[in-house]
Amino acid sequence: MTDGADRTPSDDPDVCVVGAGPAGALVAHDLAKRGHEVVVLEAGPRFDERDRLERMERSIRPAYGPQEVWDMGGERDAYTNGGDRDYPLNAARVKGVGGSTLHWQGMVFRFHEDDFRANSAYGVGSDWPISYEDLRPYYARAEEELGVSGADDNPFAPPRERPFPMPAFPPSYGDSIVAEACEELGIATHSAPNARNSEAYDGRGACVGYGTCKPVCPSGAKYDASVHVAKAESEGARVIDRAPVQRLHHDREGERITAAEYVTPDGAIHEQRARQFVLAAGGVEIPRLLLLSRSERHPDGLANSSGLVGRYFMDHLFAGAGGVLDRQTRQNHVGFVTTESHQFYDEADSEVGPYKLEVLNYAGPSPVELACGGDDWGDDLLERLRGAYGNHVALGGLVGQRPRKDNRITLDATRTDDLGNPVPEIHWSVGDWAERTIRAANETQLAILDELGASDVGTVGPADTGPAYHHMGTTRMGTEPAESVVDPYCRTHDHPNLTVASSSVFVTSGALNPTLTIAALALKAADHLDEDL
């Protein structure tokens, strides 16, 4: 069944962008407003904003799983695991206009200076071919584009050139309790910048406190990439949804990309030609597409003369600790992090990596979750709410992962998706460096909980850690074609008209949420593409 939309190729556009998440949307908008003709191919559908309240309700009802909120799963999204640990890929992916920003938490940080020089600073991985200073003006532009609420109160953050676009959200009541314990222990706390409106900004209203930011913001106060998709379209860009790209084609010499082959819901196969191509489909689907595009000239896949496409897959890992206090914490009054500590971030070395601490003011069940999760009614429900709600406290930590060549994305020829293509196979393990860092974060968290006098304390540590779903490293950046996939301009070494705008170009992971760095790199890549065009 089709919806009547025109999904035939555009005639001779300047740029074809694959993926309508944050990177693709920013590139498309930036180039379209400069007068270039842009077409965007997105594998998933357009989601109607009017459905967001219903999706929010779906997210809190126990009858629905997290993948059902944004219609993920099935053969379209099939994958396999081949590593030491199973990687739950679909637990935090969204295929559709807006991408995974539709259900992200919205935390945005600039990487620290040493994140770009990890090998020089503490002997891990490789240095990036660009520095913080190279990306600094693009970080400022990214904060303006996304709309970031923050304060210049983090003594450990890299230098800034101007204030955040909006003031920071104030700390929650639970934050203030944890901050007192941190002060006693000599641990500095500070605000956390968020890509959500603390006041009206860019035509969107201020946050109204639904508290369901992850997986859905019904009000639109939290940024998602559909904002820039709409802006790109207003500047003349064309966005084709439900058009999964199957492979890329190249010229006779095997150097320039000539077309992106995609399939529409009616089963028709089309080829979108363009002068320049931008891959912005994320750290799993980008290497998969390059590997699926193998040819006689490139039997190992496109952009893969180094053999590194898909390799150095990284994620951030979670370290956590929580407990119960003998006083109210007003848990879940805020659905996102407002207080952090980066005090331990720059103490990284070859033994223990960087990590940041987060005060999880949404720890513990909310009244809605408690009410929906049981069979009690009336006075019995009220009694259960009084006993189970209001005194939970928890701390989270984000831990970096060492880039390891054997952590990688490959193709699994034994299983195919709904269109008959081999699915991605994920080879993923945590590694000793990350495990030691998680233990260090847990020790700090337990010290804070002990200072608070918490009971019923539990931890999430190395044995049961999970990913933050930040896919990085599978088309790494570098100056040497034999040791990287893209150059410092995010162009592939092998194909001069193929650019990658994604966290897949990251050389190291740091331990900070990557979306602001993705946005900054996308804006930088758009500048270079404009010069080429």
Q: Which residues are catalytic?
A: 470
Task: Assess contact for 317 and 332: CB atoms under 8 A.
Answer: no
Q: How far, in Å, CA of 277 to CA of 104, rounded? A: 26
Task: Assess contact for 415 and 80: CB atoms under 8 A.
Answer: yes
Q: How far, in Å, CA of 460 to CA of 467, rounded? A: 12
Tokens of 274: 């363009």
Task: Assess contact for 250 and 302: CB atoms under 8 A.
Answer: yes
Q: How far, in Å, CA of 33 to CA of 199, rounded? A: 26
Nearest to 211, CA basis, from 332, 385, 54, 70: 332
467 bridge partner residues: 317
Q: Is 151 helix (H, G, I), strand (E, B) or coil?
A: coil
Nearest to 196, CA basis, from 141, 164, 149: 149
Q: Is 188 helix (H, G, I), strand (E, B) or coil?
A: coil
Q: Going by C-beta distance under 8 Å and a sequence separation of 6 or more, which residues neighbour residue 270?
A: 7, 8, 9, 243, 261, 262, 263, 264
271 bridge partner residues: 261
Cα–Cα distances in angstroms (integers) from residue 498 to residues 261, 478, 489, 526, in the given order: 15, 15, 11, 12
Q: How far, in Å, CA of 428 to CA of 465, rounded? A: 13
Q: What backbone torsions phi and psi does residue 284 show, to the nearest 5 degrees?
A: -105, -50
What's the chain's length in residues?
533
Strands (E), 90-176: 149-150, 166-167
Q: What backbone torsions phi and psi does residue 115 show, to the nearest 5 degrees?
A: -65, -25
Q: How far, in Å, CA of 494 to CA of 481, rounded? A: 8
Strands 422-427 and 245-250: unpaired
Cα–Cα distances in angstroms (integers) from residue 511 to residues 311, 317, 319, in the given order: 19, 8, 12
Buried b (16+ CB within 10 A) or exposed e, 107-132: bbbbbbebbbbbeebbebbbbbbbeb
DSSP string, 347-369: G--SSS--EEEEE-TT-S--HHH
Tokens of 239: 């966005």
Q: How far, in Å, CA of 126 to CA of 70, rounded? A: 37
